Homo-oligomer: A and B are copies of this chain.
Amino acid sequence: MNNVNEISGDPRWLSDAEREAWKALSLMQLQLTARLGQALSGSGLSYQDYTVLAGLTDDPDGRMRVVEFSRQLGWEKSRVSHHVSRMIERGLVTRESCPTDKRGAFVVITAEGRRAIEAAAPGHVATVRKFFIDLLDESQVEAIQEIADTVLTNLKANCDER
């Protein structure tokens, strides 16, 4: 499996540069989120908790549909459901039924949830800056956005195929 296919070419393989880039990106993502989680550990919130609460505070009423979380975070809907259940037990959020669509459910942040994320936010932001954002220039942030948008659009366009 030696591959020194530097020039775009052979569709059966990836070039070394392509493989390395993908590996490096995966490793970065894993280590970065691990680090963000560590940094949060003192606050009593996991990185996942933080993500959910941050999503809720984006809404003026502090509420979001389960299905919307599923889309925004890329979590299986059952994952959202399970995680919300655990957060409810800890008093960070509640569940409310949706008046307009009776199948639906809202996740709503509680006062305690708000306190928790407000306490954690400054430190978390500092960590994201220190280990990610502040290391990049504007053009790199743009590049990430463009790449991700391209890939996500393509994924959505082919969500039917096996």
In the assembled complex, the Cα of A55 lies from the Cα of B151 at a distance in Å of 25
* B18, B34, B141: the one within 8 Å of A141 (CB): B18
Q: Which residues of chain B are near A39, meaning CB under 8 Å?
A: 162
Taking the complex as formed, is A148 at the interface, i.e. its CB lies under 8 A from any CB of chain B? Answer: yes
In the assembled complex, the Cα of A154 lies from the Cα of B132 at a distance in Å of 9
Query: B1 and A58: CB pair below 8 A?
Result: yes
* B1, B34, B35, B58: the one within 8 Å of A57 (CB): B1
Within 8 A of B (CB), among A10-58: 11-14, 17-18, 20-35, 38-39, 57-58
Q: Could you give, for residues 75-110 of chain A, a 1 whenever the CB lies within 8 Å of some chain B CB and a 0 otherwise?
A: 100000000000000000000000000000000000
Q: Which residues of chain B are near A152, meaning CB under 8 Å?
A: 24, 27-28, 31
Nearest Cβ on chain B to A114's Cβ, whole angstroms: 10
Q: Which residues of chain B are near A35, meaning CB under 8 Å?
A: 155
Taking the complex as formed, is A4 at the interface, i.e. its CB lies under 8 A from any CB of chain B? Answer: no
Interface size classification for chain A: 35 or more
Q: A131 and B148 in contact (CB under 8 A), knowing A12-B125, A21-B141, A29-B29?
A: no
Query: B17 and A145: CB pair below 8 A?
Result: yes
* B23, B26, B126, B158: the one within 8 Å of A29 (CB): B26
Given A14-B128, A17-B141, A34-B74, 10 more pairs with CB closer than 8 A: A1-B58, A8-B138, A22-B128, A24-B144, A25-B144, A27-B73, A27-B74, A29-B29, A30-B73, A31-B74
